[in-house]
A and B are shown apart, each in its own frame.
Chain A
Amino acid sequence: MTASPDKTKSPAIEVRDMEFCYGKSSALRDITLDMARNEVTAFIGPSGCGKSTLLRCFNRMNDFIPGAKVTRGGIWIDGIEIHSPSVDGVELRRRIGMVFQKSNPFPRSIYENVAYGPRILGEKRKSVLDGIVEKSLRGSALWDEVKDRLHESAYGLSGGQQQRLCIARTTAVDPAIILMDEPCSALDPIATARVEELILDLKRNYTIVIVTHNMQQAARVSDRTAFFYLGELVEYDATSKIFSNPTHSKTEDYISGRFG
């Protein structure tokens, strides 16, 4: 994709009047929001509200679901509408990495997990791959813990380390945006804190969108929070505003546990 003329000022992701359907059933309606560069945006809302669906729209992961498509509006990343014919889905997913709820390392060594992406993209030089592996593992705050066992199986790592390895694997292909779908839901509080610290560190270089059910996590790590309900964006504002004085009563009811 071509970069827009002034990358520093334009939003990283722009969603305009977007409607998304699974077959005939609409999962998201009238979604309009901008996500700023080098910020963490949190998506919150009850199960089934559409927040994960929206997240998966950004790297067109939903393309793999039959009948699922954007039926109105669109999504612009660096000024390019991501469904336009010039956009290649594979290249899009390289530029937009994703970290899932459950860590999913490949059944290979720690080193190979991180080197996998760059290798696929054609990098064969060992010295370059070594450099990428070290840089990515350092960037994911994992290097010191694994540098002496890089060639051991990734399955030997703890759950929290595996999740940070997945983040390292994502950053190894130099994405612009990282999407995270409940990245800490399977982790204990210490491992969660390490990943949260990593998220705050990563935003210096990446734009991050995180889906979370943990209100405190949204409050801790995000700059802006979007609250979704029944496929609609109810409120989108600075995180401190959402958690101290939300505008909509539905947002307040949800974040303060008065829902239903």
Chain B
Amino acid sequence: MQNSHIIRDFDQAIAALRAEVLGMAAKARFNLERAVQALLERNTELANAVIADDDDVDDAERKIDQLGLDLLVRYHPVATDLRLVISSMKISMNLERISDHATNIAKRAKKMAANQELPDATLIEPLYTLADHLLRDAISSYSDRNAELGASLHARDKELDRMYKAATATYGGRLEQSTGRSEDYLHLILVSRSLERVGDLATNIGEDAVFLDNARDLRHESNRSLEQGG
């Protein structure tokens, strides 16, 4: 926990930025949850709500960029404060893309709801569960400044990749065999793809949280040890 800044407004600006990121993260995660729920429960109304609420997430991204820019212009933050501004702005970009994927899933949920129910849709559920856990932990790694948790996401995302490949293989097989349901199987393949991308974006957020916590840049590194210079 850092000491208070001599300028109280600075602490308030930092707190406002952090709160906005966490609020945006909650919205993006809620959108993803409802999009998958809309798909599984064939709930068009819920899908419409997700599509409409994506605007709030876009607004949050703009607001975070503005708050970050104001902080840089007014206070020239350094060290942890600077890393917080940079990581917050990068995380908001990833959250916006996660919410876009939720919107894509919601749009496909609406299209699938117009057709007859497809039992294979439930295969999506374990993918969503893991993607949501990765997202939840990514957000925690930022809010708790937990570099260890943030760095762990890369390895866990590999499991999501494996599940995605298995799901697309299954849906691809059904697509070849099916008569008249190929469009729905295509939707499910693309929904799986969106969930796999959410895992990648959550991993990015985890890497930003590592940068925030200890200034390490883990991106594109084969050795992801948290030791300095590792």
A interface, CB within 8 angstroms of B = 215-216, 219, 243-246, 252-253, 255-260
Beyond A244-B82, A245-B83, whether A258 also contacts B214 by CB under 8 A is: no
In the complex formed, the residue of B with least CB distance to A259 is: B6
Compute the total of residue contacts between A and B using a CB distance below 8 Å: 43
A219 to chain B: which residues have CB within 8 Å? 78
Instruction: Flag whether B30 is at the interface (Cβ < 8 A).
Output: no
Residue contact A245 to B6, C-beta cutoff 8 Å: no
Beyond A245-B214, A245-B215, whether A256 also contacts B7 by CB under 8 A is: no
Per the bound structure, the CA–CA distance linking A228 and B2 in Å amounts to: 20
13 A-B pairs with C-beta separation under 8 A: A219-B78, A245-B214, A245-B215, A252-B79, A252-B80, A253-B3, A255-B78, A256-B2, A256-B79, A257-B7, A258-B3, A259-B6, A260-B6
In the complex formed, the residue of B with least CB distance to A243 is: B78
Instruction: Flag whether B74 is at the interface (Cβ < 8 A).
Output: no
Instruction: Flag whether B76 is at the interface (Cβ < 8 A).
Output: yes
Residue contact A257 to B215, C-beta cutoff 8 Å: no
In the complex formed, the residue of A with least CB distance to B6 is: A257
Instruction: Flag whether B77 is at the interface (Cβ < 8 A).
Output: yes
- CB of A214 to closest CB in B, whole Å: 11
Highest count of chain B CB atoms <10 Å: which of A245, A253, A255: A245
Residue contact A258 to B83, C-beta cutoff 8 Å: no
Instruction: Flag whether B4 is at the interface (Cβ < 8 A).
Output: yes
- CB of B70 to closest CB in A, whole Å: 16
- CB of A52 to closest CB in B, whole Å: 23
Per the bound structure, the CA–CA distance linking A219 and B78 in Å amounts to: 10
- CB of B217 to closest CB in A, whole Å: 11
| Those 5 A-B pairs whose CB atoms lie nearest each other, nearest first | A245-B215, A258-B3, A243-B78, A252-B79, A257-B6
A260 to chain B: which residues have CB within 8 Å? 6
Per the bound structure, the CA–CA distance linking A246 and B214 in Å amounts to: 10
Residue contact A244 to B79, C-beta cutoff 8 Å: yes
Contact with A along B70-92 (1 / 0, CB 8 A): 00000111111111000000000
Residue contact B78 to A258, C-beta cutoff 8 Å: no
- CB of B87 to closest CB in A, whole Å: 12
- CB of A127 to closest CB in B, whole Å: 49
Beyond A257-B7, A257-B10, whether A244 also contacts B83 by CB under 8 A is: yes
Residue contact B6 to A244, C-beta cutoff 8 Å: no
Per the bound structure, the CA–CA distance linking A260 and B7 in Å amounts to: 12
A255 to chain B: which residues have CB within 8 Å? 78-79
B79 to chain A: which residues have CB within 8 Å? 243-246, 252, 255-256
Per the bound structure, the CA–CA distance linking A259 and B79 in Å amounts to: 14
- CB of B50 to closest CB in A, whole Å: 39
In the complex formed, the residue of A with least CB distance to B80 is: A252
Beyond A216-B76, A244-B215, A245-B215, whether A258 also contacts B5 by CB under 8 A is: yes
A-facing residues in B172-229 (Cβ within 8 Å)? 214-215
A256 to chain B: which residues have CB within 8 Å? 2, 5, 77-81
In the complex formed, the residue of B with least CB distance to A241 is: B215
Per the bound structure, the CA–CA distance linking A46 and B101 in Å amounts to: 50
- CB of B80 to closest CB in A, whole Å: 6
A252 to chain B: which residues have CB within 8 Å? 2, 79-80
Q: Given A245-B79, A255-B78, A257-B7, 9 more contacts at CB 8 Å?
A: A219-B78, A245-B83, A252-B79, A252-B80, A255-B79, A256-B2, A256-B79, A257-B6, A259-B6
- Pick the residue among B2, B75, B215 that contacts A258 (CB under 8 A): B2
Residue contact A257 to B83, C-beta cutoff 8 Å: no
Per the bound structure, the CA–CA distance linking A244 and B80 in Å amounts to: 7
- Pick the residue among A245, A246, A258 that contacts B4 (CB under 8 A): A258
Per the bound structure, the CA–CA distance linking A219 and B76 in Å amounts to: 11
B75 to chain A: which residues have CB within 8 Å? 257
In the complex formed, the residue of A with least CB distance to B75 is: A257
Beyond A245-B214, A245-B215, whether A258 also contacts B76 by CB under 8 A is: no
- CB of A108 to closest CB in B, whole Å: 40
Highest count of chain A CB atoms <10 Å: which of B77, B78, B214: B78
In the complex formed, the residue of A with least CB distance to B78 is: A243
B215 to chain A: which residues have CB within 8 Å? 244-245
- CB of A44 to closest CB in B, whole Å: 11
